Amino acid sequence: MRIIIAGAKGAGKTTTAKALAEALGIPCRDLYDLVVQVAAEDGLQHSSCADLCLSSGEDAFRAIELRAVRRIDLGGFSVIATGGSTLLAPECRRVLRPSSYWIYLRASADL
């Protein structure tokens, strides 16, 4: 079973995922950390997803993001923080949907 934390950029996905995982005593995975790792394996050295997207383009970034989603351990318990637009991709949703509980964070634009 996985708990997927989704929401817009800046909604607190990573912070919430880490706190929830710690409270439940299960691993936390930040999808964007995995995206940077997958990109590095391809020889693309970037410190952030934003940097990767700017230098490689949106299509390349989305392809790497999908590969990262496919690498997430589908067994066991974990909390996963997604990227702000990960769920816009139908294939990402298809991979993440089975055996997952979803939490969508909504934040005011005033934050």
Residue with tokens 């950029």: 9
User: Per residue in 18-76, pLDDT tens?
Assistant: 999 999 999 999 998 999 998 888 888 877 888 888 888 888 889 999 999 998 876 67
Q: What is the pLDDT of residue 111?
A: 55
Q: What is the pLDDT of residue 82?
A: 93
- At residue 20's C-alpha, the angle toward residues 29 and 82, to 5°, is 40
- What is the distance of C-alpha 45 from the center of its chain? 19
Nearest by Cα to 46 from 59, 30, 33: 33
**Taking the model in full, what pTM does it have?**
0.84
